[in-house]
A and B are shown apart, each in its own frame.
Chain A
Amino acid sequence: MDAPNTNANLYDCRDAFAATLETLGAGDPTIVAVCNDSVGSSKLGGFKSKFPERLVNVGIAEQNMVGVGAGLANGGRIPFVCAASCFLTGRALEQIKADISYSNANVKLIGISSGMAYGELGPTHHSIEDFAWTRVLPNLPVIAPCDRSETAAAVRWAASYAGPCFLRLSRVGVPDLLPEDHSFELGRANLLRDGTDVTLIANGTLTHRMVKAAEILAKQGINARVLNMATVRPIDEKAIIAAATETGAIVTAEEHSIYGGLGSAVAEVVVENAPVPMKRLGVPGIYAPTGSAEFLLDEFGMAPSAIAEATLALIKRK
């Protein structure tokens, strides 16, 4: 397996989301977009100009936005409900539970600028709780694509999937990691690099940092397996158990609190099936200080070199 080129250009996955939604919208008149005054930040300008009647902007009213999404689905539409992830999941969580998840409404929730993408705007605008809040809800796949190819594939998958889902996107640029024609498969991790000494698992903006960390480790003679695990629920138990049994140690990293997110989901599988030493990297249960997303990820020990150091320390516990 070829290691992905992580030194290439960086791309904002929102562009892949918007372009894919516009393409899908052209072929399927039932696709509609719903937003909370976030036409710009959700990159819905193109969709709006192409299909003005199919852009439902409810204004700054997230609870109504999610309810309206459920109603549009009841009326036979396929709504993509787009908003900054912090407001979508935080403000409208009960609507997501009752109207979307419990009602099993065919609504695609698109959390934009998730994690710490809003950086300096501070913790009110950070969405480092959304994996935890959404992954406890039945019927609701939770997905955080790692690059523009996976984003486009996940959006295509969401449109064709008969049920609700939560796509967690960022605005922070990431390199291409998966092939251009990548096909998204729910609950299936992608092997980006094989290895036998340890497994690095991440999604979203952390996947490329894991790949770089693996490159650093390789120079020190450590063969790290790298799994891109976009789907947080349903989690790829098979890949996790294989990673635990075949490599004996697992590091997770995510742009999320270490409580309740990807690392927790992986740990749940590990302890019940194949206990091995683990290290969960993420936001360590605090409100972040001022800084950009990239700065904060480094600050919280998720620079590739720091991930490599944490991995070396973990391997000693095997």
Chain B
Amino acid sequence: MQTKELERVARQIRRRDLQAVYDAGAGHIGGEMSAIDILTALYFRVLKVYPDEPRRADRDRFILSKGHTACALYITLAKRGFFPEEEISTFLQPHSRLNGHPNCNKVPGVETNTGPLGHGLPVAVGIATAGKLTSADYHTYVMTGDGEMQEGSNWEAIMAASQFDLRNLTLIIDHNRFQQGAALADTNNVAPLRPKLEAFGWDVTEINGNEMAEIVPALEHRGPRPHCIVAHTNKGHGISFMQDRVDWHHRVPNREQYEQAVAELSEAL
């Protein structure tokens, strides 16, 4: 899929995500909007995945370590054919398998259960290690939030990835500069991320994580070391009144806001 078409799919996913959060009356819309362009590029261009055979041994892996943005992953997976798109309407409903954080034993395409932060990257290191052990040619991707990089377990995994020479691993940090309660800079500022990752022995690429033309080549990059993409994104990207506002971490739009957001996203379509 080419850039223009990927951008169109990303806008459709944004539109559906907005509606899902509005209908459910809950969700993490800010961090979903920041991550959707990258999710789209992964599932519609980069990942070798098999919706009819979601556990096929040679598939590429993607782990959404920032599991609270599950809704965006669900919509992407459904759109890619892992399960029916109509099921998105059950998001957060009683007994739906689409709860607030992804479950690998219920939702096809999910690799491991995430939710508590700082879990996805260690698991990704294990998957990449298994790939290296077996000379498999799959690639492992994992996306964390930038605030999530405050979790120490990530740095344990970053050291291990470097030590184990995991060139088959890509970490994407969704650097939207806000965490739940405040700006990253006002909380525990892990930025700048590039020198930290480089000091730990990783290759680092910095991109505009809401710009498809920059996302795709970064995801397709292969090098001699584990690769980190510091994706500079906007929380709430695509919806003017949400963008870069910390209070849209998990706020739900009212009817008026919802209609405005729909109008903005539809205009872009």
Whether the pair A64, B122 counts as a contact (CB closer than 8 A) is yes
Q: Please report which residues of chain B, range 157-173, place their CB below 8 angstroms from some CB of chain A when the two chains form the complex.
A: 157, 159-160, 163-164
- Is B134 an interface position by the 8 A CB rule? yes
Interface residues in A54-76 (C-beta closer than 8 Å to B) = 54, 56, 58-59, 61, 63-76
Q: CA of A104 to CA of B134 in the docked complex: distance in angstroms?
A: 22
CB contacts (< 8 Å) of A67 on chain B: these are 119, 121-123, 125-126, 153, 157
Say whether A86 faces chain B, with CB atoms less than 8 Å apart. no
B126 and A102 contact, CB distance less than 8 A = no
Given the known A-B contacts A59-B160, A95-B119, A98-B115, are A64 and B129 also in contact in the complex, defined by CB atoms under 8 Å?
no
B residues 7-45 near A (Cβ < 8 Å) are: none
A54 to B130, CA, bound (A): 9
Chain B interface, DSSP helix/strand/loop, else mixed: helix
B window 165-213: CB within 8 A of A: none
Contact B133 A71 (CB under 8 A): no
A71 touches B134 (CB 8 A): no
CA distance A56 to B104 in the complex (A): 24
Of B104, B113, B114, B129, the residue contacting A75 (CB under 8 A) is B129
Q: Which residue of B lies closest to A75 (CB)?
A: B130
With contact pairs A67-B125, A68-B160, A76-B57 given, residues A53 and B133 touching in the complex (Cβ less than 8 Å):
yes
A74 to B159, Cβ gap below 8 A? no
Q: Are B122 and A71 in contact (CB under 8 A)?
A: yes
In the assembled complex, which residues on chain A have CB atoms less than 8 Å from the CB atom of B114? 98
- Tell whether A105 is near chain B: CB-to-CB under 8 Å: yes
- A94 at interface by CB-CB < 8 Å: yes
Q: Tell me if A32 is interfacial: C-beta within 8 Å of chain B.
A: yes
Using Cβ atoms and an 8 Å threshold, which residues of chain A touch B159?
Answer: 59, 61
Chain A positions within 8 Å of B126 at CB level: 67-75, 79
Contact A77 B61 (CB under 8 A): no
Q: How far is the CA of A79 from the CA of B134 in the complex (A)?
A: 14
What are the residues of chain B within 8 A of A56 when measuring CB–CB?
129, 164
Q: Does A15 contact B (CB under 8 A)?
A: no
Residues of A in contact, count (CB < 8 Å): 31
B75 CB-CB contact with A under 8 Å: no
Look across to chain A and name the residue whose beta carbon is closest to the beta carbon of B101.
A98
8 Å CB contact of A95 from B57, B122, B164:
B122
> Residue among A71, A77, A102 with the most chain B CB within 10 A?
A71
Given the interface pairs A75-B131, A76-B134, the reply to whether A70 lies near B105 with Cβ below 8 Å is no
For B, the interface residue count at a CB cutoff of 8 angstroms equals: 35
Docked complex Cα distance between A172 and B131 (Å) = 37
Which of B123, B134, B153, B163 sits near A74, CB closer than 8 Å?
A: B123
Partner of B130 from the list A58, A77, A94, A102 (CB cut-off 8 Å) is A77
How far is the CB of A108 from the nearest CB of chain B, in Å? 14
Known interface pairs A63-B122, A63-B152, A74-B61; A68-B129 also in contact (CB < 8 Å) = yes
Closest to A105 in B: B112
Report if A64-B157 is in contact (Cβ < 8 Å); known contacts: A71-B123, A76-B57, A99-B123. Answer: yes
Find A104's partner among B105, B121, B124 (CB 8 Å cutoff).
B105
Distance between Cα atoms of A104 and B111 in the complex (Å): 11
Contact A103 B104 (CB under 8 A): yes
A105 to B159, CA, bound (A): 23
Give chain A residues whose Cβ lies under 8 Å from the Cβ of B134.
75-76
For residue A79, which residues in chain B have a CB less than 8 angstroms away from its CB? 126
Chain A residue numbers with a CB within 8 Å of B223 are: none
A35: shortest Cβ distance to chain B, in Å? 12
By beta carbon, the residue of chain A nearest B61 is A74
Q: How far is the CB of B197 from chain A (nearest CB, A)?
A: 16
* Residues 25-81 of A at the B interface (beta carbon under 8 Å): 32, 53-54, 56, 58-59, 61, 63-77, 79
* Minimum distance in angstroms from A38 CB to a CB of chain B: 15
Across the interface, do B133 and A63 meet the contact criterion of CB distance under 8 Å?
A: no
User: 8 new A-B pairs (CB below 8 Å) besides A61-B156, A71-B123, A103-B113?
Assistant: A66-B122, A68-B123, A71-B124, A71-B130, A72-B127, A76-B134, A98-B114, A105-B112
Top 9 A-B pairs, shortest CB-CB distance: A71-B126, A75-B130, A67-B122, A64-B156, A61-B156, A68-B126, A63-B153, A71-B127, A71-B123
Interface residues of B (CB under 8 A from A): 57, 61, 103-105, 111-116, 118-119, 121-131, 133-134, 136, 152-153, 156-157, 159-160, 163-164
